[in-house]
Amino acid sequence: MIIGIDMMGGDYAPLEAVKGISLYLSGHRIPASLMLIGDKTKIETLLAEHKVPLDHLKFVHADQVIDMQEHPTRALKEKKQSSIAIGFHLLATGKMDAFISAGNTGAMLVGALFSMKALEGVIRPAISTIVPKVNGGTGLLLDVGLNADCKPEQLNQFAIMGSVYAQLILGIENPKTGLINVGEEEGKGNLLAQAAYPLLKENKHINFCGNIEGRDIFTGKADVMVCEGFTGNIILKMAESLYDISHHRQVKDEYFERFNFENYGGTPVLGVAKPVIIGHGISGAKAFMNMIHLAQLMLGKNVMQKMKEELA
């Protein structure tokens, strides 16, 4: 198992990635092999400074970096020697099994969509976010931005992919899966939600629990919640802002603390053949460690294979 890491991605690269790797290696009995992609000299110096053991590390030098503000498609095309472009090349050619980056999100998404194969039958991949629930549990919301406009059948696929992920990664048995909507009853909603409801209702691969209104997003009503990427992205960014607000206002509350997305590391792209995990630009050491853990868990639990079976 080889997990590739873009060492140059994120606001604090490559330092926080190095510290994250150090945390990961010291906390794991049987660590995966890590492939570190980026400025080799810089990385080796930092590894030495932080006394990180080298046994599980491989290095691939990358001359270029895609900056956070660059246009994704253009940057991927023009910077063939960037850590992200090299990462996707290594992933696509079977040189590694998963790829992690806290770099340019758009470039990561474009790379995942166009240099990787989608799982058989998947119309379009999706990205998800963890939703802290007031009852202490954890939910999953998808899509949160890859598909601003969707067809009903896509929401149905999100439901299947989300259910598999919730079961294998979040450890939720037979996850309740709901449709984000503006009312409780069948027939409510915009044209998309109205058309998606019957598909979800008849879907034997999920445990459908009906419509989920805005007020139910943080309750235990559903474990997996599906919507198009427009609404999902608004919900995600609102939820993220809640942490900033409560932090800034010094609200010391355990629940609002759980909106600190660094706890969750990064978001995986679901529906592609291999784990691709995208971190926040502000990812620190803990986030990097968590992303490596997540990639290892996804590989270990054979998440992609299971999705493929359920989608068939």
Q: How many whole angstroms separate alpha carbon 191 and alpha carbon 195?
A: 6
Per rule CB under 8 A, is residue 282 in the interface with its own copies? no
Q: How far is the CB of 235 from its own copies (least distance, A)?
A: 7
Q: Which is nearer to its own copies, 96 or 112 (CB)?
A: 112
Strands (E), 112-227: 126-132, 138-142, 176-180, 207-212, 224-226
According to CB under 8 A, which one of 30, 94, 215, 312 is a site residue for its own copies?
215
Residues within window 229-258 making contact with its own copies, judged by CB under 8 A: 229-231, 233-242, 244-246, 248-249, 251, 253, 255-256
Per rule CB under 8 A, is residue 149 in the interface with its own copies? yes
Q: How far is the CB of 170 from its own copies (least distance, A)?
A: 21
Q: How many whole angstroms separate alpha carbon 216 and alpha carbon 135?
A: 12
Q: Which is nearer to its own copies, 54 or 245 (CB)?
A: 245
Q: How far is the CB of 191 from its own copies (least distance, A)?
A: 5
Instruction: Decide: 229 and 148 in contact? Cβ < 8 Å.
Output: yes
Cβ-proximal residues to 253 (8 Å cutoff; 6+ apart), any chain: 246
Q: How far is the CB of 99 from its own copies (least distance, A)?
A: 24
| One character per residue 169-188, x = contact with its own copies (rule: CB under 8 A) | -----------x-x------
- Please choose, out of 76-84, 145-153, 261-269, 271-279, the segment that lies near its own copies by the rule CB under 8 A: 145-153
Could you check whether the bond before residue 143 is cis, i.e. omega within 30 degrees of 0? Answer: yes
CA geometry: angle 164, 166, 171, nearest 5 deg? 110
From residue 176, alpha-carbon distances to 160, 162, 219, 309 in Å are: 11, 10, 12, 19
What would the two tokens of residue 301 be? 């639990």
Q: Which is nearer to its own copies, 12 or 230 (CB)?
A: 230
Tell me which residues touch its own copies (CB under 8 A). 134, 145, 148-149, 180, 182, 189-191, 193, 213-219, 228-231, 233-242, 244-246, 248-249, 251, 253, 255-256
